[in-house]
Amino acid sequence: MSNSNINLPFSLKDRRSQIESELETKTGFTSELLEVLGDRDLYILYRSFGFAYEMKNTLEAIGNEFGISRQRIHVLKKRSEARLRARAAELGVNLEDLRG
Lowest mean pLDDT among 11-15, 50-54, 96-100: 96-100
Q: Domain 12-90 adopts which CATH fold? A: Arc Repressor Mutant, subunit A (1.10.10)
pLDDT digits (tens, 9 = 90+) for 49-75: 877 666 678 999 999 989 999 999 999
**Using CA atoms, how far apart are residues 87 and 5, in angstroms rounded to an integer?**
30
* CA–CA dist 83, 65 (Å, integer): 23
Q: Are 44 and 77 in contact (CB under 8 A)?
A: yes
Q: Where does the pLDDT of residue 5 fall: very low under 50, low under 70, confident under 90, or very high at 90 and above? A: low
Domain ranges of the chain: 12-90
The model's pTM = 0.80
